[in-house]
């Protein structure tokens, strides 16, 4: 029997922030969350932009997801709120179990367009997830290689 992978919102607390250290893409975002928690700027168990998959009690996959407001949308037609997805990562021992796909499917379930700036060498994964390359525009994309996912009725904006 197949078990459905459960994707959960991750709350800001010391346990989660400790688990984040096991992921490669650990940076200012996590450090700022930790500082905010330590200095009581955010409460324990407050919301974070992260979603994750647990295997038993261990966080084994995660992504960060942020809703960008329509007024900042330079990618889609008509201009609209969209999701920026980043830090999608599955820990090495837990790959090829469909966790990455479960996270992306969760993001798609909002039925908003999605933009991501993939890590080098992950393009075949994103292609399987039906993401496409946005037409590159230096003034908009600078150092990014944006990939986008278009729900039905949404087009890429011409640059």
Q: Which of residues 51-80 bind its own copies (CB under 8 A)?
A: 64, 66
Given 22, 94, 135, 157, the residue binding its own copies (CB under 8 A): 135
Q: Are 104 and 144 in contact (CB under 8 A)?
A: no
Q: Verify binding: residue 100, its own copies, rule CB under 8 A.
A: no
What residues contact residue 112 under an 8 Å CB cut-off, 6+ apart? Answer: 67, 80, 81, 82, 83, 151
Given 40, 71, 93, 142, the residue binding its own copies (CB under 8 A): 142
Place of tokens 């960008």: 68
By three-state DSSP, how is residue 134 classified?
coil
In angstroms, what is the minimal distance from the CB of 17 to its own copies?
A: 14
Given 56, 92, 138, 152, the residue binding its own copies (CB under 8 A): 138
């Amino acid at each position: 029997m197949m078990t459905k992978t459960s994707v959960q919102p991750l709350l800001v607390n010391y346990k989660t922030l400790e688990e984040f250290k096991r992921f490669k893409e650990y940076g200012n975002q996590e450090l700022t969350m930790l500082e905010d928690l330590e200095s009581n700027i955010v409460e324990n168990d407050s919301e974070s932009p992260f979603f994750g998959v647990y295997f038993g009690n261990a966080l084994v996959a995660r992504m960060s997801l942020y809703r960008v407001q329509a007024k900042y949308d330079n990618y889609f037609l008509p201009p609209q709120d969209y999701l920026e997805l980043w830090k999608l990562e599955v820990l090495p021992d837990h790959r090829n179990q469909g966790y990455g796909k479960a996270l992306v499917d969760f993001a798609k379930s909002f039925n908003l367009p999605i933009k991501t700036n993939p890590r080098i060498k992950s393009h075949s994964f994103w292609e399987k997830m039906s993401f496409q390359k946005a037409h590159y525009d230096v003034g908009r994309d600078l150092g990014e290689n944006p990939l986008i996912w278009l729900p039905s009725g949404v087009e890429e904006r011409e640059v």
